[in-house]
A and B are shown apart, each in its own frame.
Chain A
């Protein structure tokens, strides 16, 4: 019976799978749904709905899932949904993921994109904090934009279990389009190559600003990702930046080549959990074991003109320790680090931005420089101290950073002069 329908409906079925499932269920699940689709029969779509949202959204969910199934030309199936508050883009992702367990289709079911997320970012965008969100966990995505990290990473790699990779691709794709991430720069960490190439197919045309390439060891890997993005980009004009993550001894050695491998590389990040394991060391809070790697990474990044970005700090309850780690990291030359919990964000943002004293000092230097310039003086001094070009450059950098962190008005010279 099923065979007849298959021929009639013109779809390519993966014949060995007769049920497609996706999502999560159970009493503890929030903002997610579970869906099981068994194609076949000739009785149309039979949809059974359970879960907490039934009274208020039941009718809408059934209509919506029906619409999606019909979009993929599936007209006969037994469908079971347990919904516990999934937003429409989550329901769509789960339904499509379940369906594509047994159907090969190039069609994608996409809701109208919210315009806010599609925003071009610059090479030297403010990247103090980037919040990691597991790619198969919708609940954590909904309010992620409110915590004010500079970037948000939807992770397809380590935080997603192997059997959830398929589900996560659809969810991340839809989240990029339809979850309001406020002002955050949008990043996706793809899987290690070659799996990561498949991830790119789902996200390149979506509002993503930066692709993180994990466990990067060779410049060729970055070049391959860059090429694949170019292939998939289509009509997209806004850039997709790259942030290779160095997580091994070999990667550290090749870090300069990696940083200069493509003009789209904007930052080099280090992943210390894997790195310390790779060199046979224990990861400690003061980080002596990774001093070489971190210094090397800062040096390579700066030599290549890209941003050096530090690893995450995994003890998210110890905010005191985080503060001192971030302070030390900034003193090494890093411009930002990863966050695994929203509580880390404000501390990290504060730690990497210039302090009041630094800003005031920088302002005095810039003003002294301007005055000397106006008077045609060759030698600049502030108080009893000589100021030379690198000091002025650093002061200008500090002020630029302060402006980007909204600590100083762009027209501060006029305001301060009043």
Chain B
């Protein structure tokens, strides 16, 4: 049924129909123009909700039954609880007990803890996942064991899919670190504090039914209202949302790997030489080991030149908050928080501002925050000689990671991918990416420990850095260097079955992932 494949603008063969839905093949950056109106949930009436504002429900099971949980529904959860999450797993434990079948799970991301759901994917409780499939779930998918076709989207793409009605959420179950009986909520307090709840905003606005689950019920009003209770149907109080130490790390750490430090230092030196870090610039930071180290080297450049960053986009960490507090950064706009220091800062510092990823990343909106960013540094599993990037599969073809905000950030003015030239003998710069996640026209620079390659489209960057003394090479030279050291690897063998679809930020299909052959 889903077998008709067409070649998209990136040259990849993709289906126009999967999971019984149609989709548009990728047309190129900015080429697909949506039409129609946004999706909307049914209209509610205050008459149906308690006048005293108390929307509490005894158990999550009751709340799910009252929300009308039945076969074939779409259940959304979000990933602020990361690898410490109890709630998403509990939802499907309940569905399984109730004998519900054919659900679609729509998380903003999955983590290794969600391997708990594999039996439910096998027994038909869940048919497929649209979100990210990390670790064991990725492997499960790659082996062709999921009933439906998985769909991978970026954070912004998830928002776009909800807004455009591509994915209609029947029930949104939102774990909330602080909540009142009416459903006003934030991520700032309580034993499972996550800082911000940016990703959840879309789910509560667009889902038919919204259940808030908290382990920290506070008296009305829960302030600040990161989520406003008018969108909420039920509030469930539970003992524990998850394992605190796996929800957020006490402290994030800069990498101590000497190889990664070389990459970070080269990246920072490149930014300085190319003039893309300057007084008043806007940057996006990450919490990965290399990103944090890059930030430390950038900090030294700022200090040396008496410059300040105007805005740093989160995910925030203690390293960012130190910059904020020492005056090297004026504002943090935060979509997610990575350590306890950052939560403290968010609570104390007005210039550390929580906001929704919806605003920043949704491609189907009136302008895009990411294209205002001067420099973003990202990782990847592979980059090819045409600067195309892969973040979801490794060269062995197995699905292991989600897209996260990666695709969305490619729209920055200067997109730098910083990564080792090879990992455990496997070259990272390749002839052609195993899975296409980001088109090469959006990736400007690749920094490795053995040299920097600039996209030939960026003649300005090539010109500015030509006398910098930096090890600038062509991407072809980097690829050959990796192959000289490692030897050219064989290709993995794939079966015909498409196990996952990779969406571009505008909802079009950029690539597919096929089942790995045994």
Contacts and interface: CB of A to CB of B under 8 A. Distances in A.
A87 B259 contact: no
Contacts of B485: 87, 142, 180
A342 B261 CA distance: 10
A143 B451 CA distance: 13
A88 B487 contact: yes
Instruction: Identify the interface centre among A57, A58, A60: most chain B CB within 10 Å of its CB.
Output: A57
Contact of A55 (B262, B397, B423, B487): B397
A56 B262 contact: no
Contacts of B259: 143, 146
B208 interface: no
A18 B258 CA distance: 41
B492 A56 contact: yes
B425 interface: yes
A142 B424 CA distance: 10
A85 B490 contact: no
A60 B425 CA distance: 13
Given A143-B258, A146-B259, A147-B258, A56 B424 contact: no
Given A55-B396, A55-B397, A342 B258 contact: yes
B258 A56 contact: no
Contact of B450 (A60, A87, A146): A146
A341 B261 CA distance: 13
A57 B261 CA distance: 28
A57 B425 contact: yes
B327 interface: no
A355 B449 CA distance: 28
A357 to B, nearest CB: 20
A203 B243 CA distance: 54
A94 to B, nearest CB: 14
Contacts of B426: 53, 56, 85
Interface in A342-382: 342-343
Contacts of A31: 424-425
A59 interface: yes
B395 interface: yes
Contacts of B495: none
A57 B489 contact: yes
Interface in B478-499: 485-487, 489-492
B424 A343 contact: no
B449 A146 contact: yes
A345 B449 CA distance: 16
B490 A143 contact: no
A339 to B, nearest CB: 11
Contacts of A87: 425, 485-487
B178 to A, nearest CB: 39
B425 A53 contact: yes
Contact of B489 (A56, A84, A147, A342): A56
Nearest to A317: B256
Contacts of B256: 343
Contacts of B489: 56-57
Contacts of B396: 55-56
Given A57-B489, A60-B487, A87-B485, A343 B425 contact: no
A405 to B, nearest CB: 15
B424 A52 contact: yes
A86 interface: yes
A30 interface: yes
A348 B75 CA distance: 58
Nearest to B426: A56
A56 B490 contact: yes
Contact of B424 (A30, A55, A143, A341): A30
A142 B449 CA distance: 12
A342 B262 CA distance: 11
Contact of A60 (B397, B424, B490, B492): B490
Contact of A85 (B258, B425, B491, B492): B425
Contact of A57 (B258, B423, B490): B490
Contacts of B397: 55
A146 B262 contact: yes
A336 B262 CA distance: 23
Contacts of B491: 56
B490 A59 contact: yes
Contacts of B423: 85
A84 B487 CA distance: 15
A14 B514 CA distance: 51
B479 to A, nearest CB: 15
A55 B449 contact: no
Nearest to A30: B424
Interface string A86-109: 111000000000000000000000
A84 to B, nearest CB: 7
Interface in A48-102: 52-53, 55-60, 84-88
Nearest to A57: B489
Contacts of B395: 56
Contacts of A343: 256, 258, 261
B169 to A, nearest CB: 37
A343 B491 CA distance: 37
A120 B258 CA distance: 28
Interface in A139-156: 142-143, 146-147
A56 B425 CA distance: 10
Contacts of A85: 423-426
Contacts of A58: 490
20 contacts: A31-B425, A53-B424, A53-B425, A55-B490, A56-B395, A56-B396, A56-B426, A56-B491, A57-B487, A59-B490, A84-B424, A85-B424, A86-B425, A87-B486, A142-B485, A143-B259, A146-B262, A147-B262, A341-B258, A343-B258
Given A55-B396, A147-B258, A341-B258, 4 more contacts: A60-B490, A85-B423, A85-B424, A342-B258
Interface of A: 30-31, 52-53, 55-60, 84-88, 142-143, 146-147, 180, 341-343
Complex A-B, nearest 3 residue pairs according to Cβ-Cβ distance, in ascending order:
A85-B424, A56-B489, A342-B258
